[in-house]
């Protein structure tokens, strides 16, 4: 089951469930009426209800998807599924095996390496990404799978972590590599528009856990990154358990799980995005996230 967030005719942001053919969206408010529940209008508020039974009930609305209460997708402006996150976006560096010949125990990484991006860096599919040439000259793309937390928790055990996951999204974790190299990790990640998310959020129960999804990044139609989430050094459950040691996670929090080999800064010569480029992140089952560079 897929959720999207959107605006209709310039109205306030709202969220809904995609029809099976992806052509229509049923607003959450209308879906709630179908299952006899009072639901909020936005996906974030729905997640913060922390009621997994409602997710199961909403699947029923997909079976009786009423045309007269749904909206054609081509009539809405699609936003990030969570356009205004509850807090800054969390991320993990160096979390992919460089190649299939490598083994996890060969990696010189003893624990997840955490960073964060300001929540204001989140932007929508198709929205322009500003590379801020007055402040950085080396902006790099990073295709990733984002994990959305579904309930509050602290000191979560790894074996219990699955129940804290709500779903998954595509993300492009853009980074100003010159600032990163200067030690300004938070600033390098936090420029406005440096966290495109979407276009959809897929609920956890739609996939086997942990997910093993192909990831691809294209720049101007050229494939520049390929990987699969099975090659995460630290998987979703380990990341949730690690971060929550003495630190609370909240429903609606977003964790970026890491990027596979091929990011531009690691190439010889390095490859950075520039004005006029078009970036496209594709994650298996999660759609394609496209953003032009300005």
Between residues 273 and 263, the one the model is more confident about? 273
With cut-offs at 50, 70 and 90, classify the pLDDT of residue 108: low
Identify the pLDDT of residue 109.
59
Residue 31 has pLDDT above 70, yes or no: yes
294, 278 contact by CB (below 8 A): no
Question: Which residues lie closer than 8 Å to 1 by C-beta, 6 or more apart?
Answer: 17, 18, 55, 58, 59, 62, 202, 203, 205, 206
Count other Cβ atoms within 10 Å, centred on residue 143: 26
- The pLDDT, as a whole number, for residue 69 is 85
**Which three-class secondary structure string do you get for the chain?**
CEEEEEEECCCCCEEEEECCCCCEEEEHHHHHHHHCCCCCCCHHHHHCCCCHHHHHHHHHHHHCCCHHHCEEHHHEEEECCCCCCCCCEEEEECCECCCCCCCHHHCCCCCCEEEEECHHHEECCCCCECCCCCCCCCEECCEEEEEEECCCECCCCHHHHHHHEEEEEEEECCEEHHHHHCCCHHHHHCCCCCEEECCCEEEHHHCCCCCCCEEEEEECCEEEEEEEHHHECCCHHHHHHHHCCCCCECCCCEEECCCCCCCHHHCCCCCCCCCCCEEEEEECCCEEEEEEEC
The CB density around residue 222, as the number of other CB atoms within 10 Å, is 8
Asked if pLDDT for residue 104 goes beyond 50, the answer is no
Look-up of token digits 């990341």: 239
Tokens 């109205």, residue located: 11
Between CA 86 and CA 250 the distance in angstroms is: 8
pLDDT at 48: 98
What mean pLDDT do residues 38-42 have? 97
Q: Within 10 A of 72 (CB to CB), how many other CB atoms are there?
A: 11
Signed CA dihedral, 71, 72, 73, 79: sign only? negative
Q: Is the model more confident about 210 or about 63?
A: 210
Are 251 and 47 spatial neighbours (Cβ–Cβ below 8 Å)? Answer: yes
For the record, the structure tokens of 98 come out as: 């460089």
Sorted by where each begins, the domain ranges of the chain are 2-79, 89-292
CA-based end-to-end distance of the chain: 33
According to the model, what pLDDT value does residue 101 have? 37
Mean pLDDT of the chain: 93
Supply the angle between the helices 28-35 and 52-63 in degrees, to the nearest 10: 90
* Residue 245 backbone phi and psi in degrees, to 5: -70, 95
What pLDDT, in 10s, does the model give residues 181-233? 999 999 999 999 999 999 999 999 999 999 999 999 999 999 999 999 999 99
Q: How far apart are CA 245 and CA 43, in angstroms?
A: 27
Is domain 89-292 in CATH 3.90.1150.10, yes or no?
Answer: no
Question: How large is the greatest C-alpha to C-alpha distance in the chain, in angstroms?
Answer: 58
Q: For the segment 197-209, what is each residue's pLDDT rounded down to a tens digit? A: 999 999 999 999 9
Distance CA 112, CA 110 (A): 7
Give the mean model confidence (pLDDT) for residues 158-173: 98
Instruction: Out of 62-66, 134-138, 144-148, 276-280, pick the least confident.
Output: 62-66
């Amino acid at each position: 089951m897929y959720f999207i967030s959107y605006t209709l005719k310039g109205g306030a942001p709202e969220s809904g469930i995609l029809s099976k053919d992806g052509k229509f969206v049923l607003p959450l408010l209308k879906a709630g009426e179908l299952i006899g529940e009072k639901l909020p209008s936005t996906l974030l508020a729905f997640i913060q209800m922390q009621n997994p039974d409602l997710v199961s009930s909403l699947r029923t609305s997909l079976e009786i998807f009423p045309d007269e209460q749904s909206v054609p997708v081509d009539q809405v402006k699609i936003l990030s599924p969570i356009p205004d996150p509850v807090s800054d976006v969390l991320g993990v560096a160096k979390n992919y095996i460089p190649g299939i010949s490598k083994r996890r125990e060969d990696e010189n990484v003893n624990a997840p390496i955490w960073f964060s991006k300001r929540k204001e860096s989140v932007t929508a599919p198709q929205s322009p990404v500003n590379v801020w040439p007055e402040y950085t000259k080396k902006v790099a793309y990073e295709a990733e799978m984002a994990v959305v937390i579904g309930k509050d928790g602290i000191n979560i055990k790894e074996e219990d972590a699955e129940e804290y996951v709500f779903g998954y999204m595509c993300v492009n974790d853009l980074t100003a590599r010159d600032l990163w190299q200067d030690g300004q990790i938070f600033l390098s990640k936090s420029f406005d528009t440096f966290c495109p998310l979407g276009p959809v959020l897929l609920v956890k129960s739609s996939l086997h856990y942990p997910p093993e999804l192909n990831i691809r990044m294209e720049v101007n139609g050229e494939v520049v990154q390929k990987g699969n989430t099975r090659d995460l050094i630290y998987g979703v459950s380990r990341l949730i358990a690690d971060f929550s040691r003495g630190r609370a996670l909240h429903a609606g929090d977003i964790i970026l799980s890491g990027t596979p080999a091929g990011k531009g800064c690691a190439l010889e010569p390095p490859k950075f995005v520039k004005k006029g480029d078009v970036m496209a992140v594709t994650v298996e089952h999660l759609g394609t996230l496209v953003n032009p560079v300005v």
